[in-house]
Amino acid sequence: MRHPVLACLLLVACVAPPARAADTARPNILFIIADDLNDWVGFLRGHPQTRTPNLDRLAARGVVFANANCASPLCQPSRAAVFSGRHPFRSGAYGNDDDIRRTAPQLVLLPQQLRAAGYRTLGTGKLLHQKRADLFDESFFPEQRWSPFEPDQTSYTLDELPSKVTDDPRHLVDLGGGRKVTLPLNRMPSDRRPKDPGGESFDWGGVDVTDAEMGDAQIAAWAVERLKAPVEKPFFLGVGFYRPHIPLFAPAAYFKPFPVGATTLPPNLANDLADLPETGRKIATDAVTAGSHESVVKYRQWQAAVAAYLACVHFVDAQVGRLLDALDSGPHAKNTIIVFFGDHGWHLGEKQHWGKLTGWERSVRVPLVIAPAARDRAQYAVGRASAQPVSLLDLYPTLLEYSGTPAPKNALDGQSLLPLLRAPQTKTGRAVISTVDRIHFSVRDERWRYLRYADGGEELYDLLADPNEWTNLAGKPEHAGTRARLAAELPHDPVPPATVAPRKKK
């Protein structure tokens, strides 16, 4: 005989009305990427003068992962890892020429997995390194890199080209409406492409244009319209902003809060490279992904470059604000999870380096915020931060678990961050790895960063005591155990690189 209370509960369960669709619908996903964004955002306090009110309000309604690391500090491999959930040393996507769809065609990318599970996929701006419109049901890819200029406007004429290596390089661009601009704005000769008629991207300055003339603002406008529209099934909306990637161009209005003469330079140590192995010193001083520190100092452009980076971050923050406003005032306000991150960091003179593609904290560490859907916030520790090491590889499994989407048949290298979203202070004891330029590696745990170069050179930093990575402890006997523990995380059987051509200067 059934227990009377149990019988009553069973009866209620049988006759109770179904939950409202709004309560059970699978969440929408707003997936926002910024290019070359380091920790110079308000919620990470990476620079005292940064202005990111919109990113800060996003952080307040989500969980900040203050020790987030990219899988590789370069555009293509970092993004390929995010979208495939696989390390570069597993997928073979090591460099900017290594298209993940070619090096590992068997992998199911995140938009594909979501689409197969019933999501409508939308994409705009720089998401993967290639446009890859086939990943999306609807997409929009305007010019972003050179905006407000068109790519063909940035090339030097044969008459102008000789000036590219002088102290007064000159390339005239007509923006229309009587606006004529001479590039480069910083008046610096080219370190990387002195004989190439193409534009020099290691440049910065404000331009007399409106937001709408910038590619990033155009993709924000496109995304805003999608956020306002009602939908019949859940959507994944990927939005990839190009700034603060070089060239550091933005509307002049965004430069006004950052007067050059009052700009604070990043911490710097004159003999910082003295205790590095030879490979580390070479990586620091090579002008591969940007220009050289020597030139920046020689032409007295350091403060101007820092101000321009801050201005471009401020500009991207404004575009994120447009997305948040559209979401909050539209039909998807309660049922959309937001992910915001930078694909990798960027040096502005730290360790005498400009650009990325290093294994140091400035290049590998990225801002990461995950804001649960409004209807779910009570389940998560919103407004909190986690100091535990995490990887951008974790985004794929996190979104699958959050949305109730099955995992792909191919393995994923990351792990879901939902436990940390619920309890950010949980100690994980984890160490995460980043691949640098195919053959070098960087490992980060809660306190330490360890670098191993292909020739066996090593670096070890205690980031609790030495956040600027000024003192290499790799050769200290008292830290041998820590060095060995982190070295044990390195891959033993990396996939050979698919391309062996010299790395491109981008």
Annotated active-site residue 75? The verdict is yes
Buried b / exposed e along 396-418 (16+ C-beta atoms within 10 A): bbbbbebbebeebeeebbbbbbb
Locus of tokens 């529209």: 229
**Cα–Cα distance list, 454 to 390, 436, 451, 487 (Å):** 24, 10, 10, 13
Query: What is the maximum alpha-carbon separation in the chain?
Result: 98
**Cα–Cα distance list, 321 to 220, 221, 299, 314, 315 (Å):** 9, 11, 35, 11, 10
Parallel/antiparallel/unpaired status of strands 440-444 and 432-436: antiparallel
**Cα–Cα distance list, 347 to 157, 277, 365 (Å):** 31, 19, 11
Residue 147, C-beta contacts closer than 8 angstroms, at least 6 positions apart: 213, 214, 215, 216, 242, 249
How far apart (Å, rounded) are the C-alpha atoms in residues 414 and 411? 9
Catalytic one among 75, 87, 314, 353? 75
Parallel/antiparallel/unpaired status of strands 368-371 and 336-342: antiparallel
Strands (E), 21-150: 28-34, 63-65, 68-69, 120-125, 138-140
Annotated active-site residue 14? The verdict is no
The residue among 118, 96, 362, 142 whose CA lies nearest residue 239 is 142
The residue among 263, 273, 311 whose CA lies nearest residue 294 is 273
Catalytic one among 47, 129, 245, 353? 129
Do 171 and 199 form a contact (C-beta atoms < 8 A)? yes
Residue 216, C-beta contacts closer than 8 angstroms, at least 6 positions apart: 125, 144, 147, 241, 242, 243, 315, 316, 319
Residue 44, both tokens: 């990470």
CB atoms within 10 A of CB 21: 7
DSSP output for 318-340: HHHHHHHHHHHHSTTTTSEEEEE
The residue among 444, 360, 398, 399 whose CA lies nearest residue 66 is 444
- Please report which residue ranges of 25-169 form alpha helices under DSSP H: 53-60, 75-84, 88-91, 100-103, 110-116
Do 363 and 73 form a contact (C-beta atoms < 8 A)? yes
Q: Is the dihedral of CA 59, 63, 66, 72 positive or negative?
A: negative
How far apart (Å, rounded) are the C-alpha atoms in residues 248 and 117? 39
Residues with a catalytic annotation lie at 75, 129
